[in-house]
């Protein structure tokens, strides 16, 4: 597949056919994704391929619990789990918890996560992350630069093989419980759950902001970057 096509058509896909995804195929995807860049080439990722139905169901339940919190934010008109949220925002989201549970759909992605063809839990070794913003007086984000390029490479490698999937971080809200289910050491963070499968709809070109909408020249409020 042409690289440009892959970049423009690899979106978040949560609906899959019933066709199984073999371990051999998952292995080949990871074999390509492992070449992703990371800080100091320390490759801080560890991937748990979850086969066990009991563990899958437990992960589904923890994900769904966090998903209801996520939807509660949406129902309150808020950005879910924004680092800049106020205590009032948090209270408003919590007040919508019951409504979020009420709109839950039996066939929704969160409700059926245990049924996805391939479930990967990506963990990050906190011992080797270079989080250069660790000591700043704000939310820390830089450490993810050593993990999420790998996850994105998993999705691109899957796309090249006719599969699709989604990088989701919802379950991290219940990280300690996820650790217990999968025996993850406390020195590892739960970075993402990746669901993979054959998509029910053929991928199409995605809709995104134009370059001019997210760039500026010389300073943050400068004119939009446009070579013409």
| Banded model confidence at residue 96, pLDDT cuts 50, 70, 90 | very high
pLDDT at 16: 98
Domains, the chain, ranges and CATH? 3-60+114-213 (3.40.109.10)
Judged against a pLDDT cut of 90, whether residue 147 lies above it is answered with yes
Distance CA 133, CA 140 (A): 6
| Banded model confidence at residue 163, pLDDT cuts 50, 70, 90 | very high
| Banded model confidence at residue 89, pLDDT cuts 50, 70, 90 | very high
The predicted model scores a pTM of 0.96
Helix axis angle, 53-75 to 175-182, nearest 10° = 170
pLDDT digits (tens, 9 = 90+) for 31-84: 999 999 999 999 999 999 999 999 999 999 999 999 999 999 999 999 999 999
Judged against a pLDDT cut of 90, whether residue 1 lies above it is answered with no
């Amino acid at each position: 597949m042409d690289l440009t096509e892959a970049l423009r058509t690899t979106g978040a896909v949560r609906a899959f056919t019933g066709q199984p995804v073999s371990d051999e195929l998952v292995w080949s995807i990871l074999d390509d994704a492992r070449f992703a860049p990371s800080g100091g080439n320390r490759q801080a990722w560890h991937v748990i391929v979850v086969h066990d139905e009991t563990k899958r169901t437990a992960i589904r339940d923890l994900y769904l619990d966090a998903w209801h919190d996520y939807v509660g934010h949406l129902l309150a008109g808020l950005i879910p789990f924004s680092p800049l949220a106020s205590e009032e925002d948090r209270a408003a989201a919590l007040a919508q918890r019951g409504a979020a549970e009420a709109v839950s759909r039996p066939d929704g992605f969160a409700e059926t996560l245990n049924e996805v063809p391939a479930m990967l839990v990506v963990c990050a070794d906190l011992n080797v992350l270079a989080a250069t913003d660790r000591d700043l007086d704000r939310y820390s984000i830089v450490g993810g630069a050593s993990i999420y390029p790998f996850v994105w490479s998993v999705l691109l490698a899957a796309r090249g093989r006719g599969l699709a999937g989604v990088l989701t971080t919802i379950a991290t809200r219940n990280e300690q419980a996820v650790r217990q289910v999968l025996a993850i050491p406390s020195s590892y963070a739960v970075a993402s759950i990746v669901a993979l499968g054959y998509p029910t709809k053929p991928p199409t070109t995605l809709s995104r902001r134009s370059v001019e909408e997210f760039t500026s020249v010389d300073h943050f409020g400068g004119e939009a970057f446009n070579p013409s």
